[in-house]
């Protein structure tokens, strides 16, 4: 049974932020509080542009601060909190090379999106597309390992 004190009650909405945090996928999140409108907004950007996940009206600053803290977001000013995770994209053409890249990202726990039925495989890292013949799978597998090490702190957290 859930501890009643673990809920954040805002108006007539009860949010179990710790549970929500467990099920959010790795992405880029930010929460803002507008004191003039008394509104909390939780946004996400999973390489497809920012989207509003949740908007709560008639909320206090204290509620916004607690929700952000329990979601694992870090303060970025007084009314903004955020959490960034790397997100990779794989254009999958059904080849063994594309599958090796996909399996490596899964093994390393790297958040990614897979686009199937592409003409050629490509790995998108940091707004750059890595495709053959300029990039080989062996080089990219090594790069993925380096990415996992570089972002180890972000990848070990939830979300």
Residue range(s) of every CATH 3.40.30.10 domain in the chain: 88-151
State the burial class of residue 42 (Cβ atoms within 10 Å of its Cβ: 0-12, 13-18, 19+): buried
Binned at pLDDT 50, 70 and 90, residue 74 comes out as very high
Per-residue pLDDT at 4 exceeds 70: no
Q: How many residues does the chain have?
A: 159
**Predicted TM-score of the model (pTM):** 0.76
Q: Three-state SS across 50-105?
A: EEEEEEEECCCHHHHHHHHHHCCCEECCCCEEEECCCCEEEECCCCHHHHHHHHHH
pLDDT tens digits, one per residue of 141-158: 999 999 999 999 999 988
User: What CATH class does 88-151 carry?
Assistant: alpha beta
């Amino acid at each position: 049974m859930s501890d009643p004190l673990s809920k954040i009650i805002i108006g007539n909405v009860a949010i179990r932020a710790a549970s929500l945090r467990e099920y959010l996928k790795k992405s880029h999140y930010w929460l803002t509080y507008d004191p003039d409108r008394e509104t909390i907004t939780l946004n996400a950007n999973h390489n497809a542009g920012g989207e509003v996940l949740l908007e709560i009206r008639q909320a206090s600053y204290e509620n916004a601060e607690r929700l952000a803290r329990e979601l694992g977001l870090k303060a970025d000013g007084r009314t903004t909190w955020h959490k960034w995770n790397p997100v990779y994209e794989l254009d999958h053409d059904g080849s063994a090379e594309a599958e090796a890249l996909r399996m490596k990202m899964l093994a390393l726990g790297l958040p990614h999106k897979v686009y199937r039925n592409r003409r050629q495989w490509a790995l998108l890292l940091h707004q750059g597309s890595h495709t053959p013949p300029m990039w080989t799978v062996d080089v990219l597998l090594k790069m993925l390992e380096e990415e996992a090490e570089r972002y180890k702190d972000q990848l070990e957290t939830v979300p």
